[in-house]
Amino acid sequence: MHLLFLGDIVGRDGRDAVVRQVPKLRQSLGLDAVVVNGDNAAGGFGITPAICHDFFQAGVDVITGGDHIWDQKDIPGYIAHEKRLLRPHNFPPRTPGSGFVIVTLPNGATLAVLHLLGQVFHREYLDSPFTAAEQALEGIRLGHHARAILVDMHAEATSEKQAMGHFLDGRVSAVVGSHTHVPTADAQILPKGTAYQTDTGMCGVYENAIIGFAPEGPMQQFLGKMRRSKMVPAEGAATLRALRIRTDDKTGLATEVEALHIAA
């Protein structure tokens, strides 16, 4: 299977670039599936049903969220019935939606996607992402119940993401990191065959921006320890950061992994 994961989509320029480029990438790369992180797609804070619709129409198969998943008011009702939009699986059990889905792709193959939120520097009420991963994958055998399994580990700490990679090595096709918006230079295949990258980066504006936002918003917190104005996404030419993964159809393990930088 040939997979593409697109990192956090930030603001209008980021999402417009994704909608414009995904159909082209599916064709030019011969992709079987595209998974995107949409945690900052709506003005930098969460995602809306309309944006999800645009992504699905463009050829996205699954959308993951993160710590901003509830920022837009229509999402709790929408996520309850739209199984292709995931919230972190280690939220409390009564939370609407799910963080795990198995989808059947146009070619008939099955892809499982698991979405987790790290505990380090995040809210303490979360269940352990490691326990949640064990529970979600119990009884799911890679290459049998799903031809490929992709895990989006949305977390602040690089060590927690690396720990998840090694924890699931050999049991899933890929563990991809999201959330920090800065791509890391460690795309690799771990010893037991799982593709890994600590953070894929973002789909948004990199030039004259801080993690995809106009510099004034983040700077006010560093300089004055308070937020006087709302953070807004930077405007300009967006760049897509993605991780391309190819897996063995029999084992589901990774055979190729490549970090992509796509000018959009």
Burial of 223 by CB count in 10 Å (0-12 exposed, 13-18 middle, 19+ buried)?
exposed
CA distances from 90 to 32, 97, 245 (A): 28, 11, 25
Q: Active site includes 115? A: no
The tally of CA atoms less than 13 A away on the side-chain side of residue 165 is 27
The span from the CA of 167 to the CA of 191, in Å, is 12
Distance of alpha carbon 163 from the chain centroid: 17
The position carrying tokens 């560093």 is 222
DSSP sequence for 10-50: BHHHHHHHHHHHHHHHHHHHT-SEEEEE-TBTTTTS---HH
The tally of CA atoms less than 13 A away on the side-chain side of residue 233 is 25
Q: What are phi and psi of 67, to 5 degrees?
A: -75, -15
Annotate 101-113 with b (16+ C-beta within 10 A) or e (fewer).
Answer: bebebeeeeebbb
The span from the CA of 84 to the CA of 19, in Å, is 17
- For residue 169, the one-letter residue type is D
The catalytic position among 68, 115, 122, 179 is: 68
Q: Looking at the annotation, which residues are catalytic?
A: 68
